[in-house]
Amino acid sequence: MKAAVYEGSQEITVKDVPEPDVGPTEVLVKPKYVGICGTDLSAWEYGMYEPGLIMGHEFSGEIVEVGKDVSSWEVGERIVPNSLLPCGKCSFCKAQKFSICDDMQMVGITMDGGLAELVTLPQDMLHRLPKAIDNKKGAFVEPLSIALHGFNRINFERGNSVLILGTGPIGILSLHFAKLLGASVVYASEIRSARLEMAKQSGADAAIDPSKESLPLRIESLTKGIGVDVVVECTGVPGPTSEAFQLVKRGGTILILGISEEPVEVDFMRGVLNELNVTFSYLGYAEFPEAIRLLAEEMIDPMPLVTRVISLDRVVEDGFEALRSPDNQDVKVLVKI
């Protein structure tokens, strides 16, 4: 079968590999659509995964074979895999803190993922896709769960004002969810014009390009000098992350969803004097059923985010390399298997 195999920093090879075996409690899945996300790009650029890994953790698929001890799944069912498979035994799992499990497995990160014609998955990792969610939309369950998990970790109140830093897929999904939760206004900041336009189309009350105007001054003007209640950091870039401390009101909350590989300098003096709440959030797990429900009931429509669909053969050139170009204007690229 064909698969996109991670070989090391900035090196992915699409090649033939043996079809995976199916264990007693596993299912064999044919991936349908796979999203390329910022974590994938960072791992590819910085060499963060083990060589030999088949990448891809945002995907939908169809079961084509079940292991001999599998009774709750059938051939032909459409599924999405959860972000992680927690050990269920460590102190964090016992405290329901699955995203920081001591011994978690993660599809497409620590175990083979969806950028392949076939993948085996543990049966306990799967969620069914209802008929209302097609295979393309199914690839957004995982990124939506990340936004939901982040908001679940903060004390968000109806009527809060929100600023989204970075309007890639996670940022746009966070924008939609903030609106669903009853945010009074949602502002967005983004330097890439296509993503900024997507924020406008998604209902941002103000869309700001910080490369063309001062973001702190604009937020000061919009909030009459108070700042916003909640800043959601989705860029994973040190500058915007640091600047969040200037943008949030006294007693407000900074939610960090973006992962920065570089150190971030922050104004702890401002943070202490203003009694800011800084919350970091990683992955989604328990939020998968809610993400599926929101997509099935069309309360959030992710399909406008899809700017290109590419083939597995072109995943390097049209996917990873293209998305890392400074001039790239894609919001979400899906790989059709």
pLDDT, position 158: 97
pLDDT, position 325: 86
Q: Cα separation of 57 and 35, whole Å?
A: 8
pLDDT, position 82: 96
pLDDT, position 210: 96
Q: Cα separation of 112 and 114, whole Å?
A: 7
**Radius of gyration (C-alpha) of the chain in whole angstroms:** 20
pLDDT, position 162: 98
Q: Which domains does the chain have, with CATH numbers?
A: 2-144+284-336 (3.90.180.10), 154-280 (3.40.50.720)
Q: Cα separation of 63 and 61, whole Å?
A: 7
Contact indicator for 281, 304 with CB cutoff of 8 Å:
no
Q: Could you write out the DSSP letters of every residue in 279-324?
A: EE----STTHHHHHHHHHTTSS--GGGEEEEEEGGGIIIIIIIHHT
Q: Cα separation of 243 and 331, whole Å?
A: 23
Q: Which residues contact 98 (CB under 8 A, 6 or more apart)?
A: 84, 86, 92, 104, 285, 286
pLDDT, position 151: 98
Question: Taking the mean position of all CA atoms in its chain, how far away is CA 16?
Answer: 28
At 158-171, the pLDDT tens digits run 999 999 999 999 99
pLDDT, position 46: 81
Is residue 147 within a helix (H) or strand (E), and if so which, with residue range?
helix 141-152
pLDDT, position 42: 86
Cα–Cα nearest to 236, from 254, 259, 214: 259
pLDDT, position 259: 86
Q: Which residues contact 100 (CB under 8 A, 6 or more apart)?
A: 92, 282
Which segments of the chain have a pLDDT < 70? none
Percent of the chain at pLDDT above 70? 100
Contact indicator for 167, 199 with CB cutoff of 8 Å:
yes
Q: Cα separation of 92 and 125, whole Å?
A: 18
**Pairing status of strand 78-81 against strand 126-128:** antiparallel
Geometric angle at alpha carbon 237, from 242 and 291, rounded to 5°: 105
